[in-house]
């Protein structure tokens, strides 16, 4: 778990502003994921990437964007189009994009609050 980091830990944003959450891993994992966690809602998948320069939408991708230019990095941008962005955001990674290596390791999370 120590190999996946997120920054910042807390983030405050004014309405109408875009903000980018950082996620970095040094585990040499191929796949990376972004989840949103709200009380009583579990973890909901926003985007995931199986390999560099490729990513797929999850269940709640609207209002979010991602990039995967490097294997180690998978930043998430929360745009002004996201209607209710206040939440806890978790990044995760897994070794291979195959069924056999699917244990996901999570980062410590970023708590985003829209003022």
Partner 1 sequence: GENVEQHPSTLSVQEGDSAVIKCTYSDSASNYFPWYKQELGKRPQLIIDIRSNVGEKKDQRIAVTLNKTAKHFSLHITETQPEDSAVYFCAASANQAGTALIFGKGTTLSVSS
The CB-of-15 to partner 1 minimum distance in angstroms stands at: 27
Strands 110-114 and 10-13: parallel
Q: How far is residue 34's CA from residue 43's CA, in Å, rounded to a whole number?
A: 9
From the CB of 42, what's the least distance to partner 1, in Å?
Answer: 4
Interacting residues toward partner 1 by CB under 8 A: 1, 31, 33, 35, 40-45, 48, 50, 56, 58-59, 90, 94, 97-100, 102-109
Q: How far is the CB of 35 from partner 1 (least distance, A)?
A: 8
Q: Give the number of other Cβ atoms within 10 Å of residue 62's Cβ.
A: 11
């Amino acid at each position: 778990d120590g190999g996946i980091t997120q920054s910042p830990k807390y983030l405050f944003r004014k309405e109408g502003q875009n903000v980018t959450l950082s996620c970095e891993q040094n585990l040499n994992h191929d796949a990376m994921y972004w989840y949103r966690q709200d009380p009583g809602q579990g973890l909901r998948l926003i985007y995931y990437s199986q390999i560099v320069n490729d990513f797929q939408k999850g269940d709640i991708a609207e209002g979010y964007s991602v990039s995967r230019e490097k294997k180690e990095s998978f930043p998430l941008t929360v745009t002004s189009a996201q209607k209710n962005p206040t939440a806890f955001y978790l990044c995760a990674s897994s070794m291979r994009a195959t069924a056999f290596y699917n244990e996901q390791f999570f980062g410590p999370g970023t708590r985003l609050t829209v003022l």
